[in-house]
Chains A and B, each alone.
Chain A
Amino acid sequence: MTLTRRSMLTLSVGVAIGAVAGMRTGAALASAEDAMAKVMEFSGGMEPEAGTITLDAPEIAENGNTVPVSVSVESPMMADDYVESVAIYADGNPSPDVITFNFTPMSGEASATTRMRLAKTQNVIAVAKTSTGKVFMDKKEVKVTIGGCGG
């Protein structure tokens, strides 16, 4: 099979739709598609693989204003094979972007922690891109008691 630009595009769109359809039914998340579109943009159209990346966030966050989130990716972190960047998206926030971590071989490990705001109960997605062109993804649902986006 020859991979043309067009077939690649159709493939990635199909994959995005499949992934969205595979999400929890019943939970009508306004921007779940936006978040997946962001993931696809970040990965350059590549379907992310599961595993290797671990996203850690609480199952229930009482206060959506400060939700601790950490991410770590298994990688040798050598000059020829390291994790270039990890992006975190939240699919129920006004804008899905949360943060993008950029690592270098000098980072030693591809792991980072921060605190984020979540407007409501939603999925948090972490996507990692390695220097060898691989893309990994992990997803976690966080239940939020009090939303953290003003109002």
Chain B
Amino acid sequence: MAAVKPRVKVPKTASADEVITIKTLISHPMESGQRKDGDGNPIPRQIINKFTCEFNGQTVFSCDIEPAVSANPYLEFTAKVSEAGMFKFTWVDDDGSVYTEEKEIALK
């Protein structure tokens, strides 16, 4: 499988208690399990089924993903920043692989 590459956009700084927007994208085929190959055999499902965003160890946002989400799943959500710290993003694949990415944010 092609290398899975997560990409995340987080502002570098924020004022205290500001609500920031985070955008994430991960390259992944999100094989739905509905398609058939040339010989009519179903292609097994392989999707990213869970995404979590943590800030300094506390969960900010998470989602349960189903096959109806497009290939290269894109997620945009918000977070309230009350202190400087580290955002940690985790994607969980059907095959058990876990992809992570970290971004730091400072206070203005």
Number of B residues contacting the other chain (C-beta, 8 Å)? Answer: 29
- Dominant secondary structure of chain B at its interface with chain A: strand
Cα–Cα, bound, A105→B55 (Å)? 12
- The answer to whether A109 and B60 touch (CB under 8 A), given A97-B68, A150-B32, is no
Cα–Cα, bound, A65→B69 (Å)? 9
Taken residue by residue from 64 to 108, chain B's Cβ proximity to chain A (1 for < 8 Å, 0 otherwise) reads as 111111110111111110000000000000000000000000000
Q: Which residues of A contact B (CB under 8 A)?
A: 65-67, 70, 77, 90, 93-95, 97-109, 111-118, 148-151
Instruction: List 13 interface pairs A-B (beta carbons < 8 Å), by A numbering.
Output: A67-B70, A94-B34, A99-B66, A101-B61, A101-B77, A102-B63, A102-B64, A107-B60, A107-B80, A108-B19, A117-B67, A117-B69, A149-B32
Q: Which residues of B contact A (CB under 8 A)?
A: 19-20, 32, 34-36, 55, 58-71, 73-80
